[in-house]
Every structure is written in structure tokens, then in C-alpha cells.
Amino acid sequence: MKVTVIIDNAVPIGTGRPFLAEHGLSLLIEHAGKKVLYDTGQSSAVVSNLSLLGFRPAELDMLVVSHGHYDHTGGIFHVLQHARKKIPVYAHTKIFQARYSVAGDQRRFIGIPHEKEVLTALGAEWCFINAPTEIISGLWMSGHIPRNTEYETGDPKLVTCATDGDECHDTIEDDTSLFYAGPRGLVVIGGCTHAGLVNTVRGGLRSQAPRDWLAGLVGRTWGLCRKSSRQKLSLSLPRLALSLSRPITVQVSR
């Protein structure tokens, strides 16, 4: 399996090509003869960066959405517009939930910026998955990730609308990661891992047994931003040696 970063918050110095950076994430996963785009960043930058790397949206076999935040989904519209074909889009059923970020008395919409019907008209073939599912050989979509740790409580500034219409904390129920059962163990590929990194890793280890050890983490791992969470992860997975190679990319080895 090969993973290429398409969209990240920063572009490395010295690439020699005019890559675009933006707050968000998009990864191209090449595996078993398939090209899977996991998240799309927030704009058309994903199409531009794919092109600079020699890829065309029409080559993609499927899109996978990690969760319904704009910085992971805004590029779906542009990818479909350029692909000009039907593409399966795998996601949790709740990705289109209305969601907001609050700061003081300000409330900002941070959900998917395009209507489901608009994306469907452009070629999105929705495959809604809420349980662990092998989407291509050896690559699993987590489905809903159980929240079992008491310390991975999520971001209190993220809110959604409850069924009674009132505002409530958004636990990002649709947060979905990918699990790759590789020869060296489990690789977890996360969008934001709002479900909590420990919950996510445990979910992967559960669904991928007997490959009961972790080989790597790729993507954004908000749960690791705080030092206390980092320590908790080390305690929760004591067999792992943890090292942070970049602020948002984590490599874990035995």
C-alpha cells in the first residue's frame, strides 16, 4: 500500500512545484490496483495537487469520507466535477449532519459545504457504511468507532443540533478511519480521529485480530495534540514506542 499526501496544512520547502496548502486533509491510497482518495481538503486545491503529482480525478476508483467537516469534504464537489464520471463515495450515514464551531457568541458552519443532491448529480454514488467493512482487499473502513475511553471527550467548541432542535455537543459520530492489515501489523489512517486516537486504534486492533499490534498511524490525530493524551496513549498501548515526526503526522513503531 502506498499513501501520498495530497492536501495538508503546509507544503514542504523545496518541492519545486507549485503545490497548494490549506487547512484540511486529503490522502491518495494506492493499493491492490485501486486508487482511493481519502478526504478531499476544502477546495479545488485537491485537483490542482493531484494534477501536479500526475494523477487525474477520472482515475480514482472511490472516495472515502472520514467525517463531515468542510476541511475534509469541500473538495468532493471539485473532484467529481473534474472526474466527469460516477464514483463510489464511502461514508458514515451522518456526514451531512449540520455542525458548527462556537467561539464566544459566534457560531460558524463547518459542515459539508455542498448539498447531497448536488454531489449526487455530479456523479457521487453513495455507499453508507456504519460497521467495519473491507472496501478493497486488506483495506477496511472502520464504521462507527465505539467511544470507551473516559479521557477522549472531544472538542467542546464543536456543536450540532439535537433531535429536539437544541444545540448540543457534537461528538462527530460519523468519524471514520481506515484500517490496513499489513504484513507488519495494523496501519490506522485517520482523518481527524475525533473518536479519539486510543478508541480508534483499539477499534482497529479489534477488527483486525490476530494482527494484534500497531505498525503505523497516518493522518491527523487530534487526540495526540495534548501532552496528557500522548501519555495516555503510551500507557494504553504500552508495547509501542511513540515518536512524533511532524505536528500532524505520527509514526509508531514497536
* Structure-block grid coordinates of residue 213: 499490534
Tell which one of 69, 114, 144, 147 touches Zn ion (CB under 5 A): 69
**CA–CA gap between residue 65 and residue 160 (Å, rounded):** 19
Site string for Zn ion, 137-176 (x = CB under 5 A): ----------------------------------------
Min separation Cβ 99 and Zn ion, Å: 9
- Binders in 196-225 for Zn ion, by CB under 5 A: none
Contact window for Zn ion (CB under 5 A) among 7-15, 30-38, 64-72, 148-156: 64-72
How far is residue 142's CA from residue 191's CA, in Å, rounded to a whole number?
A: 12
DSSP code of 183?
A: T
Q: What is the smallest separation between the CB atom of 194 and Zn ion, expressed in angstroms?
A: 6
In angstroms, what is the minimal distance from the CB of 57 to Zn ion? 23
Provide the angle, in degrees to the nearest 10, between the axes of the packed helices 76-83 and 45-52.
Answer: 60
Smaller CB distance to Zn ion: residue 74 or 185? 74
Q: How many residues bind Zn ion (CB under 5 A)?
A: 2
Report the distance separating Cα 177 and Cα 132, nearest Å.
10
* Residue range at the interface with Zn ion (CB under 5 A); choices 14-22, 42-50, 61-69, 120-128: 61-69
Stretch that binds Zn ion, among 78-86, 116-124, 161-169, 184-192 (CB under 5 A): 184-192
Write the CA distances from 253 to 111, 152, 168, 202, 250, integer angstroms: 34, 22, 38, 16, 10
In whole angstroms, the minimum distance from the beta carbon of 207 to Zn ion comes to: 22
- Shortest Å, Cβ 81 to Zn ion: 23
CA dihedral 58, 60, 61, 64 (to 10 degrees): -130
Q: Which is nearer to Zn ion, 93 or 137 (CB)?
A: 93
- What is the CB neighbour count within 10 angstroms for residue 226? 11
Cβ atoms of residues 67 and 20 within 8 Å? no
| Least CB distance to Zn ion at residue 69 (A) | 4
Tell me the three cell numbers of residue 129.
457504511
Q: Using the rule CB under 5 A, give the single segment among 146-154, 187-195, 197-205, 227-235 that binds Zn ion.
A: 187-195
Instruction: Dig out the grid coordinates for 232 from the structure.
Output: 495516555
Cβ distance to Zn ion smaller for residue 35 or 69: 69
What CA–CA distances, in Å, run from 84 to 28, 125, 163, 169?
19, 13, 37, 38
Could you tell me which stretch among 98-106, 163-171, 188-196, 229-237 binds Zn ion (CB under 5 A)?
188-196
Output 24 or 204, the one with its CB closest to Zn ion.
Answer: 24
Residue 94 near residue 111, CB atoms below 8 Å: no
Question: Can you tell me which of 192, 195, 197, 218 binds Zn ion, judged by CB under 5 A?
Answer: 192
What is the binding site for Zn ion (CB under 5 A)? 69, 192
